[in-house]
Structure 1
Amino acid sequence: MLTPYALSCDGRTTPLGLDERTPLLSWRLRSDRRGDAQTAYRILVTEDGVRRWDSGRVEAGENAQIRYDGPALRSGTRYEWSVTVWNADGAEAGTADSWFETALLHPDEWAAVWIGRDPRIQPPFDPPVVDDLTDRVRHLAPPPHLRRAFQLASPPVRARLYATARGVYEPRLNGVRIGDRELAPGWTEYRTRILYQTYDVTDVVQAGENVLGAVLADGWWSGYVGFDSRHQAQHYGDAPQFLAQLVCEFADGSTRTITTDSEWVERPGPIRYADLLMGQHEDAALALPGWDSPGYDAHGWTPVQVVDTAPGPLVAEPDEPIRVTEELHPVSVTALGDGRHLVDFGQNMVGRIRLTIRDAKPGQRIRLRHAEVLTDGELYTENLRTAEATDLYLAAGQPLETFEPSFTFHGFRYVEVTGYPGTLAARDVVGRVLHSDTPFTGSFECDDETVNRLYRNIRWGQRGNWVSVPTDCPQRDERLGWLADAQIFAPTAMRNADVQAFFARWLADVRAAATPEGAFPDIAPKVAMLTEGAPAWGDGGVIIPWLLYRAYGDTRTLERSYDSMTAWIGHVHRHNPDLIWRHRVGNNYGDWLQVDAETPRDLLATAYFAQSTALVAAAARVLGRDPEPYDTLHARIRAAFVDAFVEDDGRVIGDTQTGYLLALGFDLLPPHLVKPAFARLAADVEKRDHHLTTGFVGVALLCPVLARHGRPDLAYALLHQDTYPSWGYSIVHGATTIWERWDGWTADRGFQAAQMNSFNHYSLGSVGDWLYGGVAGIEQAPDSVGYRALVLRPTVGGRLTWARASQETIRGRVACGWRLDGDQVVVDVELPPGTTADLLVPTSDPTSIRDGNGEAVPGPELRLTSGTYRFTAPR
């Protein structure tokens, strides 16, 4: 039966706290019947059982981004919704239901004011007896513990806590931590918007005394962020602040709202300082047992200061928050002597440690230092630059204690534990993996373990760098949202996970960071000294909205981005009227971290100018705008590119792999020069004994362009290569995430310059898109949106004897795989209802293809509708 599943509202399954007035409703489809499709749907939205909107039966096959079209939604209200679908025969089929809840839809509904520590009252910081603290952390203020006691005559029938921080916070209520968010509210361009969270606390609030509390830390607001030595901290403010209101509804229809106001009190607790880059220092002797519970004596606590009475640009959290999603256990714990243990988790991860401490003496000092790799058996920390990545714990002297920092995170595989009492057992140390909790929806596997390790490295790199923003690295003093890294990796990211809401939220920061002239930045949120975006970097503001539209049918983000997309093209064009992009190029990084090659930077810039212009023209067509000016401009840029950079024999100036990849991948060459240009690209790969030279910009195009132009053998040769430079080289030398640079470590030179040498940096992992689309064969048709129409071209080659991939698209599950069985190739396909696919069976004899029943089918290209299929053909 045709069945809807995975219902979502604005890209989330059951959003609690939504401030879109017209949310978008979506569902996926499955069916056990081949050729099935949705022919109609009906959406019903209710509130407390009362019908609020009934779409009626809509004759349409669309199942994603359906706009709510009912009466205005009310604030703080739970809405249930269901969808019923009709199948290919027009018969009513399955029904599924879900819910969403609105947040505070009107600014005047905020009664709370911003509170924080009174700056006139600075709690003393007494350094420990062993004082090896650096000047960076020595005088950091301890995070305040905030509390507010209040009385209720009866328990509420419904209670919601709306909360946020300028900084990061952990909410508490009646002795209980509320929710599972980490580092809330996350990082945005705080000057233009701050996210707030909604919590259902109905079961926690009680009659009688209640205590609402929070622990507040610097986070991105006032803590260390980035690499600018002239301005490393306090980018937005000099101290964290908190804003919250608890709304309680009672059985008699009355309400009571408790807000942040001057009635709150605060004091420091056991955390002496907490910083995202530097780490967390905790003294268990300073713990405040019961501080967030009724009955606690708060005498002596200090009144807070009201620091701002205007709530400011608040936006309800629009995507999944940062969460702890997995726990890792050590593969080894080694006693090093002199009171040190070295813990190896076997995987470069991002998060923190939960350490169980047994029989420590009062005041015993335990230090945790984190690193990604080792050098001569010791932590390699030079690449952290000024990030200290060190957590400190002073024990209370209890038989059993647990230390897990709350307001920091590190990128690491190894942890050096110093001062642990006795011998550290593996069971007493746990790696807590945290990242923005984007649901993983894709998979790839094959029979080559090195390729599987590459795929896992790509996924781990995505997890570790999806921490509120798509960061460039999670370990050193940077962790910034670089646009080029994001746009180059976005196609792979969209294969691996549902990142629609994540990217849509971040793109608001990208737009906010643009200059008045229309220039996108290199990074967003914009905190560093960088100004106008460089070629391929600023272009991320054009490319990512288009990719979201293609993958998810997300016209809303495309619409919201369109004006800034056109402004970017206008900015580049205005300063480069000859259409060769040489002026106003920002830092102009070129093909960043390419090896043994130098692609001309004006060539790369002009290629991106052309590509972004073409995408703006395409977006104009989708949105009903006039594409003609951009179509014309694109044609002129394309001609200028050929005149400036392409010779009559197809040679592209610079003669680099990336130069040819840009010309071919962006379709910038006239037809008669495609073959000679590609021949030069192939020859360059061959003369280098199947090694690449591409940097960040070229690498994503490498395997797809080689395979598309008839040389998948070269793409596979690069995929399997394990000598420098290659993906396999890092794996041979122990990589469990993608390195920032091909030469992060080499056998003959050792470590690269520590100033820029991350071992967890996803950009070079953009080959993951080709694993799905080239090796396993899952691609969209050129004019398809949301995987409505597919082109399945599994590529047999290399050392592989089988490969398969799957994706949960907005339509449903797509899968494609192949295996060699003697002199036969077997291809398996799964398509969701309502989709079609053109399958190209990889066979030497298209006349001998047979289906799963052994019946002959004409080939090699087969037109398929939804369902599961198996085909067998000669190799």
Structure 2
Amino acid sequence: MKFCSILTSATIMLVVFNLTASAQKLSVTDLQVEHQVNPLSVEPAIPRMSWKLASTAKNILQKSYEIRVGTDAKATSSGKNLLWNSTKTSDQSVLVEYDGTALKPGQRYYWQVRVTDNQRNTSPWSAVQFWQMGLKASDWKAKWISVPEKDTALASPMFRKTVNLSKTVKLATAYITARGLYEAYINGKKVGDAYFTPGWTSYKDHLQYQAYDVTALLKKGTNALSAILADGWYKGRVAFADRSSFYGDTRALLMQVQVQYTDGSSETLISDDSWKTAYGALLKSSHYDGEIYDARKERAGWTQTTYNEGSDWRAVRIMDYGYGNLVGMSGPEVRKHEKIVAVKIIKTPKGEIVADFGQNLVGWVELKTKGPANTRITLSHAEVLDKAGNFYTENLRSAKQQNTYYLKGDQEQVFSPHFSFQGFRYVKIEGYPQELKPEDLTAVVLHSEMTPTGTFKTSNTLLNQLQHNITWGQKGNFVDVPTDCPQRDERLGWTGDAQAFYYTAAYNMDVSGFFTKWLKDVKADQHKDGSIPFVVPDVLNPGDAGAAGWGDVATIIPWGMYDTYGDKRILETQYESMKAWVDFISSRSRKNLWNTGSHFGDWLFYRPDDDNDGRAAVTDKYMIAQCFYAHSTQLLINAAEVLGKKDDQAKYSSLLNDIKKAYVNEYLTPSGRLVSSTQTAYVLALQFDMLPENLRAQAAERLVANIRDYGTHLTTGFLGTPYLCHVLTKFGHNKVAYDLLMQESYPSWLYPVKMGATTIWERWDGIKPDGSFQVPSMNSYNHYAYGAIGDWMYKNIAGIQAGAPGYKKIVIKPIIGGKLTWAEGSYDSDYGTISSKWRIEDNKLKLDVTIPPNTTAQIWVPDAQGKSYKSFNVGAGEHYFER
């Protein structure tokens, strides 16, 4: 069906082409449970199911659904022996709660769904999918095993055991975790395709285990189970001051394999005192410093059944760690993604041999080589070359970011790290025994498995490169936790960065599982007084908590998750944490003013080197704190309303009124001027509705005057930047917003792009116009916070906005400007793909929009000059507008 709306100044003509009924096909696709496809360790006792509708017809809405659940795939698809069969008149297709008999730990459940739409079409049954419930503490039979002596070695311990299976395997699930990091193998093959498992969590509160379907790896007869461990975040170096063993000083493995046989019987294989351990070729592994691997010490075939252990394999030690803090995975695992071959090999003025991969990325390098025994090859990693073109690592601080390999000399080998990752564009190679060619080096990109959901392109190539940089910054810093940077001796889950970037992140990729997992850590590491640490997981000092704009992650991201995914349960789960954070602020406030404590303020705002004219954009930190106090209180009120907590809604609404009154009394002059007359001060005041309505328009004019006074440059830092263009748009200053976005000189979003950036920088001038660097102690070239402008670009250039939580209702409202002649964007919501494409041809605005089934949309169609809009309410389908 094609739907054309041709707009002129005189008439609006609608042309509708109907498809025949026989062509209108309805189906159900993309089944998920708890934001995951076929998950193997579901934690909630009541899982939630989601699906999408696909149809060739227009205006399709779901009228009812039927779900059936069973314990056998074939029986379920035949509608037999069902545990639950529910038919319900409802348009809900996202996060539908299971409502059958109680589910058993470790049990696999199969399900499918069919729907009926508002045109009386009924879909076929979907393909059968499954989920598997996670284990409870009482389900664990395996023992924690470690090396027999005190665990002081830098080398990685290896563990193995052979077991005999006398029957044919029908289904097998391996449950594995470690104190430290692990890689596990069955019969010589790696278990799963994840890296850095079990991931980084607030280990003192909860430790994840992974569940793997290993049916295809096991066989009747002899099988070899094995694993290797490394320090990781648990025992290795984290944070500052060379801190190590923050969570514990002993690496340990826990492995349990549940085997079901074709004859109906079952068996459990476990790690216990019958396992053996030894050290091998991996001599050292560190996130910050890299790895040392000595191929001369390899124990060939140690993961195979035919391996002869010998006398130097020793008995393991059983550790009494228990199982009480073990939890299944709620977020995505880290996996390999793109592979990038070196663009070129260069020789620097200092004579260094350096490979350029053309892209600042996070992962590691696969090195292909062959050479004499005892040859030592060292790979060092860096983000940039200095002004002279030499290899530059000073901004890494104490992190070595270096992998060293010793060759055994008898064959060609491919080396790469096991438990370390680097942030780099350039790699310096020392000791390579032959002429180095680009094809000898391949960069492997690693990040958490997040399905890309957004696309964004325009007629401006610099803007497209900015979007590229934003996306690659997200990839590089979403490695199990949302880190600030991926290269230097930090790589921590800074809360301020995460909250600033949330909405952009959610456009670019599906972060539902990623932030569900991380918010558990936010809640777990929240202090007893309600304050939120600066970083999560919290590995800093006990007093490092409670900063405005950082601690507000406790309210901003839970509400963002509800806004983006319609996830009410995340509000239920995090509500007490949200409330505790607001109550903490109240406890530190005096007469409703949050004017106590230590704050970062508008971090890395514009601060010229020689400030004789007072041009530095310093915003009063307590003034900022008051704005975020109001914002978090408002989000808590919103959550209370959604959850039906009327008493809290009333209580905090009254508090919010007092907070805003206190702000006006303290920080606003009678004429409407703020005591800190900076861009960030006006942006936050306007974004969070801190000013009386009659003073807001003039405050926006003051903001515009400030921007123009700086030559149409931004001066904001981490807290003001995410909202800057949003506020300008909100108050009708679209041209100013576009002028800021398109500014190419420092400070601006496009200045780093013009300087060759391929990711977002930590500082607006990480590389100065003369080619020199900002202070090396804090100058990351992969630091995503300023990429928060992506949210404005999706919402206002492409025009894609959520009209209701989870995009059940959609708003399309593109803003024309910036000399753009076309722009297009898409977002793959939980209902399907939303797309918006506009172009200006022959002085006309042409807009193509796609709305997914089971949603409705309001389309605001601008004229070619962007001066006026006309509005249409539409249903699912493809729509074309011309004006």
Smaller-chain TM-score range? over 0.9
Residues 348 and 390, structure 2, Cα contact 8 Å, conserved in 1:
no
1:474 has 2:486 as partner: yes
2:380 equivalent among 369, 372, 382 = 369
Secondary structure of the 2:161 match is: strand
1:644 has 2:655 as partner: no
State the distance in 2 between where 1:38 and 1:101 align.
24
State the distance in 1 between where 2:501 and 2:55 align.
32
The residue that corresponds to 2:197 in the other structure is: 184
State the distance in 2 between where 1:327 and 1:672 align.
56
Matched residue count: 839
The residue that corresponds to 2:578 in the other structure is: 565
- Aligned CA distance change for structure 1 residues 173 and 334 (closer, same or farther; 3 Å): same
CA deviations 1:775-814 (Å, max 9, x no partner) are 1111123xx1111222221011112110011001112211
The TM-score with structure 2 as length reference comes to 0.93
1:789 equivalent among 809, 812, 815 = 809
CA deviations 1:160-193 (Å, max 9, x no partner) are 1110011110001111111100011100001111
State the distance in 1 between where 2:150 and 2:855 align.
65
State the distance in 2 between where 1:2 and 1:705 align.
42
Secondary structure of the 2:176 match is: strand
The residue that corresponds to 2:715 in the other structure is: 693
Residues 80 and 97, structure 1, Cα contact 8 Å, conserved in 2:
no
CA deviations 1:49-72 (Å, max 9, x no partner) are 244344432111111110011111
State the distance in 1 between where 2:599 and 2:501 align.
19
Secondary structure of the 1:629 match is: helix
Residues 488 and 763, structure 1, Cα contact 8 Å, conserved in 2:
yes
State the distance in 2 between where 1:206 and 1:275 align.
35
Q: Quote how far apart the aligned CAs of 1:120 are.
A: 4.5
Secondary structure of the 2:722 match is: helix
Secondary structure of the 2:744 match is: coil
State the distance in 1 between where 2:865 and 2:396 align.
56
1:486 equivalent among 478, 485, 498 = 498
State the distance in 1 between where 2:866 and 2:499 align.
38
- What aligned pairs does 1:269-284 form with structure 2 within 5 A after superposition? 269-284=280-295
State the distance in 2 between where 1:91 and 1:109 align.
45
The residue that corresponds to 1:86 in the other structure is: 116
1:66 has 2:96 as partner: yes
Secondary structure of the 1:786 match is: helix
CA deviations 1:318-354 (Å, max 9, x no partner) are 1220000111111111245998521111000000000
1:77 has 2:101 as partner: no
1:517 has 2:529 as partner: yes
- Aligned CA distance change for structure 1 residues 285 and 786 (closer, same or farther; 3 Å): same
Q: Quote how far apart the aligned CAs of 1:98 are.
A: 4.2
Residues 617 and 715, structure 2, Cα contact 8 Å, conserved in 1:
yes
Q: Quote how far apart the aligned CAs of 1:3 are.
A: 2.8
State the distance in 2 between where 1:83 and 1:645 align.
57
CA deviations 1:401-436 (Å, max 9, x no partner) are 111111100000000011111211111110000001
1:109 has 2:122 as partner: no
State the distance in 2 between where 1:411 and 1:692 align.
28
CA deviations 1:550-569 (Å, max 9, x no partner) are 11011111101001111111
1:868 equivalent among 856, 863, 878 = 878
State the distance in 1 between where 2:457 and 2:687 align.
26
2:334 equivalent among 308, 311, 322 = 322
List gaps (5 residues or longer) in structure 2. Answer: 1-24, 607-615
2:839 equivalent among 809, 812, 819 = 819
The residue that corresponds to 1:437 in the other structure is: 449
CA deviations 1:695-733 (Å, max 9, x no partner) are 000111111111221111111111111111111111111
The residue that corresponds to 1:449 in the other structure is: 461
The residue that corresponds to 1:36 in the other structure is: 60
State the distance in 1 between where 2:737 and 2:819 align.
12
Q: Which letter does structure 1 place at the counterpart of 2:198?
A: P
State the distance in 2 between where 1:745 and 1:756 align.
12
The residue that corresponds to 1:118 in the other structure is: 148
1:841 has 2:851 as partner: no
Q: Quote how far apart the aligned CAs of 1:99 are.
A: 2.3
The residue that corresponds to 1:47 in the other structure is: 71
- Aligned CA distance change for structure 1 residues 98 and 581 (closer, same or farther; 3 Å): farther
2:428 equivalent among 403, 416, 440 = 416
- Aligned CA distance change for structure 1 residues 97 and 642 (closer, same or farther; 3 Å): farther
- What aligned pairs does 1:501-540 form with structure 2 within 5 A after superposition? 501-529=513-541, 530-540=543-553
Q: Which letter does structure 2 place at the counterpart of 1:232?
A: R
State the distance in 2 between where 1:352 and 1:570 align.
44
Residues 52 and 70, structure 1, Cα contact 8 Å, conserved in 2:
no
Q: Quote how far apart the aligned CAs of 1:119 are.
A: 2.6
- Aligned CA distance change for structure 1 residues 702 and 153 (closer, same or farther; 3 Å): same
Q: Which letter does structure 2 place at the counterpart of 1:324?
A: K
State the distance in 2 between where 1:705 and 1:61 align.
35
- Aligned CA distance change for structure 1 residues 550 and 104 (closer, same or farther; 3 Å): closer
Q: What is the RMSD of the two structures over their aligned residues, measured on CA atoms?
A: 1.7
List gaps (5 residues or longer) in structure 1. Answer: 123-139, 850-858
- What aligned pairs does 1:650-729 form with structure 2 within 5 A after superposition? 650-729=672-751
State the distance in 2 between where 1:846 and 1:727 align.
23
The residue that corresponds to 1:852 in the other structure is: none
Q: Which deviates the most, 833-842 or 484-493?
A: 833-842
CA deviations 1:683-704 (Å, max 9, x no partner) are 1111111100000001111111
Secondary structure of the 2:719 match is: helix
2:407 equivalent among 395, 404, 424 = 395
Q: Which letter does structure 2 place at the counterpart of 1:634?
A: L
CA deviations 1:13-45 (Å, max 9, x no partner) are 111222322111011223222211111111111
CA deviations 1:444-477 (Å, max 9, x no partner) are 0111110000001000000000011000000011
Q: Percent identity?
A: 39
State the distance in 1 between where 2:151 and 2:739 align.
65
The residue that corresponds to 1:772 in the other structure is: 794
- Aligned CA distance change for structure 1 residues 158 and 791 (closer, same or farther; 3 Å): closer
State the distance in 2 between where 1:12 and 1:207 align.
31
- Aligned CA distance change for structure 1 residues 699 and 337 (closer, same or farther; 3 Å): closer
- Aligned CA distance change for structure 1 residues 505 and 428 (closer, same or farther; 3 Å): same
1:221 has 2:251 as partner: no
1:211 equivalent among 224, 239, 243 = 224
- Aligned CA distance change for structure 1 residues 743 and 156 (closer, same or farther; 3 Å): same
The residue that corresponds to 1:239 in the other structure is: 250
Q: Which deviates the most, 551-560 or 94-103?
A: 94-103
State the distance in 1 between where 2:180 and 2:257 align.
20
Q: Which letter does structure 1 place at the counterpart of 2:521?
A: D
State the distance in 1 between where 2:351 and 2:693 align.
69
State the distance in 2 between where 1:545 and 1:635 align.
23
Secondary structure of the 2:805 match is: coil
Secondary structure of the 1:17 match is: coil
Secondary structure of the 1:751 match is: coil
Q: Quote how far apart the aligned CAs of 1:94 are.
A: 4.6
1:634 has 2:656 as partner: yes
State the distance in 2 between where 1:209 and 1:30 align.
47
1:202 has 2:215 as partner: yes
CA deviations 1:370-411 (Å, max 9, x no partner) are 000111222211111111100000011124111111110000
CA deviations 1:242-281 (Å, max 9, x no partner) are 1111122223332222211111111111111111111010
State the distance in 2 between where 1:60 and 1:182 align.
40
Q: Which letter does structure 1 place at the counterpart of 2:873?
A: R
Residues 831 and 867, structure 1, Cα contact 8 Å, conserved in 2:
yes
State the distance in 1 between where 2:627 and 2:698 align.
19
CA deviations 1:227-255 (Å, max 9, x no partner) are 2x1x5211111132111111222233322
2:296 equivalent among 285, 292, 301 = 285
The residue that corresponds to 2:634 in the other structure is: 614
Q: Quote how far apart the aligned CAs of 1:838 are.
A: 2.0
Residues 348 and 413, structure 1, Cα contact 8 Å, conserved in 2:
yes
CA deviations 1:715-756 (Å, max 9, x no partner) are 111111111111111111110000011121212472111111
The residue that corresponds to 1:547 in the other structure is: 560
1:145 equivalent among 158, 180, 184 = 158
